[in-house]
Amino acid sequence: MSEPLLFEISSEGRKGYSLPPMDVPEKPLSDLLPETAVRSKIAELPELSEMEVIRHFTHLSTLNHHVDKGFYPLGSCTMKYNPKINDQLAELPGFSGVHPFQEVCDIEGALQLMGDLACYLAEISGMDEVTLQPAAGAHGEMSGIKIMRAYHEKNGNPRKKIILPDSAHGTNPASAAISGYEAVQIKSTDAGLVDLEDLKAHLDEEVAGFMLTNPNTLGLFEPQVCEIAKLIHSVDALLYMDGANLNALLGLTRPGDMGFDIVHINLHKTFSTPHGGGGPGSGPVGVTSRLAPFLPMPVINCGKSSYSLDWNRPDSIGKIHSFYGNFGVMVRAYVYIRMLGAKGLLRVSEDAILNANYMMRKLEKYFLLPHTQHHMHEFVLSGDWQKEKGVKTLDIAKRLLDYGVHAPTVYFPLIVHEALMIEPTETESKETLDEFIEIMIHIAEEVESNPEIVQNAPQTTPVRRLDEAAAARSLDVQYRES
Ligand X SMILES: *Cc1c(COP(=O)(O)O)cnc(C)c1O
Q: Is 285 in the site for ligand X (CB under 6 A)?
A: no
CB of 266 to ligand X, least distance (A): 5
Q: How far apart are CA 19 and CA 9, in angstroms?
A: 9
Rounded to whole angstroms, how far apart are CA atoms 108 and 97?
A: 14
Site for ligand X in 166-195 (CB under 6 A): 169, 171
Q: 240 vs 403, which CB is nearer to ligand X?
A: 240
Considering only 135-143, 223-231, 291-299, 444-452, which stretch makes contact with ligand X by CB under 6 A? 135-143
Of the candidate residues 129, 222, 242, 395, the single one contacting ligand X (CB under 6 A): 242
CB of 217 to ligand X, least distance (A): 5
Cα 74 to Cα 429: distance, rounded to the nearest angstrom: 16
- Quick check: 376 binds ligand X (CB under 6 A)? no
Give DSSP secondary structure letters for 293-312: GGSPSPEEEE-SS-EEEE--
The Cα–Cα gap between 79 and 241 comes to: 21
The answer to whether 137 contacts ligand X (rule: CB under 6 A) is yes
Q: In what order do the strands lie in the sheet with 182-186?
A: 129-131, 285-287, 262-264, 238-242, 207-213, 161-165, 182-186
The rounded distance, in Å, linking the Cα atoms of 210 and 235 is 11
Q: How far is the CB of 136 from ligand X (least distance, A)?
A: 4
Among the listed residues 154, 152, 125, the one whose alpha carbon sits nearest the alpha carbon of residue 140 = 125
CB of 455 to ligand X, least distance (A): 29
What CA–CA distance (Å, rounded) separates 65 from 463?
Answer: 12
Residue 286 Cα distances to 89, 125, 133, 147, 295, angstroms: 25, 7, 11, 11, 9
Site for ligand X contains 272 (CB under 6 A): no
Of 248 and 443, the one with the shorter C-beta distance to ligand X is 248
| Pick 170 or 341: Cβ nearer ligand X | 170
DSSP 3-state percent helix, strand, coil across the chain (nearest 5): 40, 10, 50
Tell the smallest beta-carbon distance from residue 241 to ligand X (Å): 10
The answer to whether residue 398 forms part of the interface with ligand X (CB under 6 A) is no
DSSP string, 220-278: ---TTHHHHHHHHHHTT-EEEEEGGGGGGTTTT--HHHHT-SEEE--HHHHTT----TT
Q: How far is the CB of 147 from ligand X (least distance, A)?
A: 17
Q: Which is nearer to ligand X, 242 or 418 (CB)?
A: 242
**Of 125, 266, 326, 393, which one interacts with ligand X (CB under 6 A)?**
266
Binder among 125, 213, 326, 455 for ligand X (CB under 6 A): 213
Shortest reach from residue 242's CB to ligand X, in Å: 5
Helices (H) and strands (E) in the chain, counts: 17, 12
Q: How far apart are CA 230 and CA 248, in angstroms?
A: 23
List the x/- string, 53-92, binding to ligand X by CB under 6 A. Answer: -----------------------x----------------
Which segment (136-144, 251-259, 322-330, 352-360) binds ligand X by CB under 6 A? 136-144
Q: Assess 217 for contact with ligand X (CB under 6 A).
A: yes
Please, are residues 172 and 148 in contact by the beta-carbon 8 Å criterion? no
The answer to whether 191 and 375 have CB atoms below 8 angstroms apart is: no
Amino acid symbol at 449: S
Pair 75, 393: CB distance under 8 Å? no
CA distance 402 to 106: 52
Beta-strand relationship, 161-165 and 182-186? parallel
Q: Choose which of 127, 136, 163, 437 interacts with ligand X (CB under 6 A).
A: 136
Residue whose CB is nearest to ligand X in the complex, by number: 137
Q: Given the rule CB under 6 A, which of 23-31, 131-139, 246-254, 414-422 is the region that contacts ligand X? A: 131-139
# residues near ligand X by CB under 6 A:
13
Among 237, 244, 331, 352, binds ligand X (CB under 6 A): 244
Rule CB under 6 A: is residue 249 a binding residue for ligand X? Answer: no
Among 165, 274, 283, 298, binds ligand X (CB under 6 A): 283
Regarding 232 and contact with ligand X (CB under 6 A), the answer is no
Q: Which residues bind ligand X (CB under 6 A)?
A: 76, 136-138, 169, 171, 213, 217, 242, 244, 266, 281, 283
